[in-house]
A and B are shown apart, each in its own frame.
Chain A
Amino acid sequence: MDTLIVLLYAAGLFFNFSAVLGMLRLPDVYCRLHSSSKNTTLGSLLIVAGLALRAAESGAGPGVLKILLIAVLLLVVTPIGSHALARAAYKRGTPLWARSVVDQYAKAPRPEVTDVSDR
């Protein structure tokens, strides 16, 4: 049990560290979003799973349920926020990296907005 918890912590810290490293080193908003969203989601899930095991080991009953609720919340919340941020940055016109190869969103068909009340 202890080795499993240590492995979960180590993997989670590794993924969080790679997320922060990518945030500091990558050249572009979109590259940074790519690094941050996925690595943060997986790393935080691993760490929360290890902490839930630890809490279950020390005999905290409802605390484990609440920690699992936090895990589900993080799993839902982080990708949605990153998606909204990427969309907003693209529509704002934040430039891509100069050496980017492909931009498929520029070629996507845009539906005409007819409902003015939506804006």
Chain B
Amino acid sequence: MMNYDLEYLVTIVLGLLAIAMLYRLWRGPAMSDRVLALETIGVLGVLMLVALSVIYGRMIYLDLAVLLALFGFLGTLVIARYIERDLIQ
């Protein structure tokens, strides 16, 4: 059995960074700040999912990580278009 303490440490530190990003999500002065904070939290979440899949040896977390990356990206694009000009004109 391998020792996965390092991966646990990486996951915990990434979670702390994501929690620190909640400050920017709470009071970003512009809407872009909040969307950017959400995007960064999404990337950190993808990393945490990959680390958890390596720790527990479960492939399903990798699928979840792919889905989270893709849908976070799509959400960012849609909200960016909404910020640039309204969706329906």
Taking beta carbons and an 8 Å cutoff, which residues of A are in contact with B?
5-6, 9, 12-13, 16-17, 19-20, 23-24, 29, 32-33, 36, 40, 44, 47-48, 51, 54-55, 57-58, 60, 62-63, 66-67, 69-70, 73-74, 77-78, 80-82, 84-85, 87-89, 91-92, 94, 119
Contacts and interface: CB of A to CB of B under 8 A. Distances in A.
Contact of B83 (A5, A16, A77, A88): A88
B59 A47 contact: no
Contacts of B53: 63
B65 A70 contact: yes
Contacts of A48: 47, 50
Contacts of B40: 19-20, 23, 36, 40
B73 A88 contact: no
Contact of B21 (A20, A54, A57): A20
9 nearest CB pairs, A to B: A88-B84, A89-B32, A84-B80, A81-B76, A88-B80, A88-B83, A77-B73, A66-B62, A20-B17
A3 to B, nearest CB: 12
Instruction: State the majority secondary structure of interface residues on A.
Output: helix
A44 B54 CA distance: 15
Contact of A85 (B7, B36, B70): B36
A88 B46 contact: no
Contacts of B57: 58, 60
Given A23-B36, A74-B69, A84-B80, 15 more contacts: A23-B40, A24-B20, A29-B30, A36-B39, A58-B57, A70-B69, A73-B66, A73-B70, A77-B73, A81-B39, A81-B76, A81-B77, A82-B39, A85-B35, A88-B32
Contact of B30 (A6, A16, A57, A94): A94
B81 to A, nearest CB: 7
